[in-house]
Amino acid sequence: GAVVSQHPSWVICKSGTSVKIECRSLDFQATTMFWYRQFPKQSLMLMATSNEGSKATYEQGVEKDKFLINHASLTLSTLTVTSAHPEDSSFYICSAEGGQETQYFGPGTRLLVL
């Protein structure tokens, strides 16, 4: 089946630093990738839709300058949390559109901002 990887799997950083999370589709090409955020015991909240070669589409309430998304190739999308603060601590998970209209998810990245 389709495999999506994320790196890093977890990260701890100091407040004010920037953190980059990579999402890769390993065995298929994905023109569209999605970034979600999930708080403990809650559902996934779509942050943005990442399209290869164009600007990302952000959901209402998501700060574009805070969460920078780059989709430079058909297999890689990156999410950069700029000037991270403790309230940005969360589980970030990406997905890539595969065959049969299915989205395949990465394993997620746990971010803790101290």
Partner 1 sequence: AQKITQTQPGMFVQEKEAVTLDCTYDTSDPSYGLFWYKQPSSGEMIFLIYQGSYDQQNATEGRYSLNFQKARKSANLVISASQLGDSAMYFCAMRVYQAGTALIFGKGTTLSVSS
Q: What span, in angstroms and rounded, lies between the C-alpha atoms of 22 and 39? A: 20
C-beta of 83 vs 102, nearer to partner 1 = 102
Using the rule CB under 8 A, which residue among 44, 62, 68, 76 binds partner 1? 44
46 binds partner 1 (CB under 8 A): yes
Least distance (Å) between residue 16 CB and partner 1: 26
C-beta of 81 vs 93, nearer to partner 1 = 93
Using the rule CB under 8 A, which residue among 14, 43, 60, 87 binds partner 1? 43
- Beta bridge mates, 68: 80
Q: What span, in angstroms and rounded, lies between the C-alpha atoms of 20 and 30? A: 20
Sheet holding 67-73, edge to edge: 4-7, 19-25, 76-81, 67-73
